[in-house]
Amino acid sequence: MKTIKALGIKAPNAAILVENILKQDSTSGIIITLSPGSEEGLENIATKYGLGIEVENKKEEVVVRMVRNSREMEELDVTGQTCPGPIIIASDKLGSMENGDRVKLKNNNLETIEDIAIAMPEMGGKVLDQGTDGENHYLVIEKVDKKDSKETKSSVNRDKVLVVQSNGIGNAERAYATFIFAKAALSMGKKVSIFLLMDGVSMARKGNAATVKHPAFDRLDYMMMEAVDGGATIYVCELSANFRGIKQKDLEDGCKLAGAATYVTLLSDPTYAVVNF
């Protein structure tokens, strides 16, 4: 679907512009951002080309969507998927969609649907509708540009996540949480760094993570490698490693020793959201 910004173009020139575009190709529809008041006459253009029209009024602009009335919306049922499965499925789907495309996500668990809804602005998705259909809860999402899906709440854009882990393989729940949260953040397009310190460094020693297996997930070492393959950086506290006789050669692939300066620098970076386990 064509996406155009035409701020400053007044009516009826905006309508002339849209019609000229649709004359070339009206099959995929169009999303056009205009100055307030410039949408005059677009409803007639949409009718002429057999398109449905939606007008969204914002503070300083108007977003007009023209789409085929007969366009069917795909439905995805993520019932039964264990966290972070639903958000990863939603992310993969958004990645294959064009701006203006819509999808209906369904799940029999309301909390899962609400979790996906919260994440949408970070992923380039806009929630159009949320409700209940029989025993299922649903969410209708439209693919939009990420910069258009987020409302800036501060001057700092937190597009990175730092996961700090100070527990070792003896606490399987916290160990798994490290990489489940990392995987969820990666699927949302975040840059992820993991810092293992104190007993947390035990997870990075070769062979240790392979001894931990949760009934609902892959072995811990597989989860760790998935995070690395997805782009996460795993730092291992040098001081904590030295206390336990762990050297760089003893670490799993993708893990690297790092000192206090690295840790403090990561914590001091305002673009990181910090999660502690």
The residue ranking higher by pLDDT, 91 or 69, is 91
| pLDDT per position as a tens digit, 186-220 | 988 899 999 999 999 999 999 999 999 988 888 99
Q: Which fold has domain 74-148?
A: Translation Initiation Factor IF3 (3.30.110)
> CATH assignment of 2-68?
3.30.110.40
| pLDDT per position as a tens digit, 114-169 | 888 877 887 888 888 888 888 889 999 988 876 655 554 444 567 899 999 999 88
pLDDT value for 192: 94
User: What Å distances lie between residue 37 and 3, 4, 33, CA to CA?
Assistant: 19, 17, 11
**Strand 160-165 versus strand 272-276 pairing type:** parallel
> Which among 226, 221, 200 is positioned nearest to 85, based on CA atoms?
226
pLDDT value for 154: 47
Mean pLDDT (whole number) for 6-10: 87
> Is the C-alpha dihedral spanning 161, 189, 91, 226 positive or negative?
negative
pLDDT value for 69: 59
Mean pLDDT (whole number) for 110-117: 85
What residue spans define the domains of the chain? 2-68, 74-148, 160-276
Structurally, what CATH architecture does the domain formed by 160-276 represent? Answer: 3-Layer(aba) Sandwich (3.40)
Q: How far apart are CA 268 and CA 260, in angstroms?
A: 12
pTM of structure: 0.61
pLDDT band at 21 (very low <50, low <70, confident <90, very high): confident
pLDDT value for 153: 46
pLDDT value for 120: 85
Mean pLDDT (whole number) for 62-73: 73
Mean pLDDT (whole number) for 78-82: 85
Three state DSSP letters for the chain: CEEEECCCCCCCHHHHHHHHHHHHCCCCCEEEEECCCCCCCHHHHHHHCCEEEEEEECCCCEEEEEEECCCCCEEEECCCCCCCHHHHHHHHHHHCCCCCCEEEEEECCHHHHHHHHHHHHHHCEEEEEEEEECCEEEEEEEECCHHHHCCCCCCCCCCEEEEEECCCCCCHHHHHHHHHHHHHHHHCCCEEEEEECHHHHHHHECCCHHHCECCCCCEHHHHHHHHHHCCCEEEEEHHHHHHCCCCHHHECCCEEEECHHHHHHHHHCCCEEEEEC
Task: Answer whether 2-68 and 74-148 agree in fold.
Answer: yes
Q: How far apart are CA 202 and CA 214, in angstroms?
A: 17
Question: Phi and psi dihedrals of 210, rounded to 5?
Answer: -70, -15
